[in-house]
Structure 1
């Protein structure tokens, strides 16, 4: 800016000096007259004086100091961060809560085992080691009375058997009741028809009395 101002001032000063010199130029006018009756000629001679030497002015032009370089302004634009390529995440399936269905229990008919009357083997009498008791294992047990089955009756009856030497039951009596006359009678009726192996003493068949328990159980 200072260099431009100085150059303009210098040019203005030069032009002003030249204009002053031109105004100061002397004009030499010579008039010549003749008396011979000729036409008067006025001769005007313009002498342009040399312009005065303009004193040279030494001007030192100082170099314009370089303008301070301003640091460039950095504009930072918020750019979205590059998206990383991620594998697609499968959608989470909706959670299914299993519903507990009420269990309908059906009444299952329990297998009814046929009621049994079991005969317990006759024990050998104490002190008669030489004697072998009678055996009735080949006979069928007493039938469970149907009325006793309906009434859900159970029990054990203890019978005394009078057996002859051939193994046939001659008579029966109740030693201990089962608590139900129906079961006692069924046991006695069945045992009266039994025939088995007679008791033996020293290998010979003999008549004997045997105690036989019969158990009725559903």
Structure 2
């Protein structure tokens, strides 16, 4: 190929010349950076990220407290038993051991709790009311007041009497009366003539109150 032909060819391909110059410059720059330790990433290349491995885990520390070992018990030499002379028998105490008084045989004193007896409820007393003596019933009716008898007035008197342990009336309380003369006649008759079998409590005579009604009627 002639010189004119080569020059003409170079003039015809300026792009090839620029590429050759860029390659040479890149080679020179790479050599210079390699000496300085700097790495240049060419355009369009994907950078590589170095992977650093984590350090190995440290061994786990024992968090439990140190157990204190018990101290060894002090050495106690065995008790020396005195030897018996030849031909003699050892003495043996044959007396049985008795437990302490008030104990259980183990040396402990047992105190028995005191049990209070359950009181037995007293039975209810047997009460019997006072009743008129049958032989004295004819004396229970008081005399008719003369004034009321002449006028033909009839009625009744209600009284409460306190009967003593001897069966006699000790007190008279007027509850109601159709006429004061009926009340007076009944009170006098009760204190003088009325007789009762007294009330009893468990068979014993006692005082008691009893209500009585006396009627005053005129019979033809």
TM-score for the superposition, normalised by structure 1: 0.38
Larger Rg: 1
Q: Which has the higher helix share?
A: 2
TM-score for the superposition, normalised by structure 2: 0.38
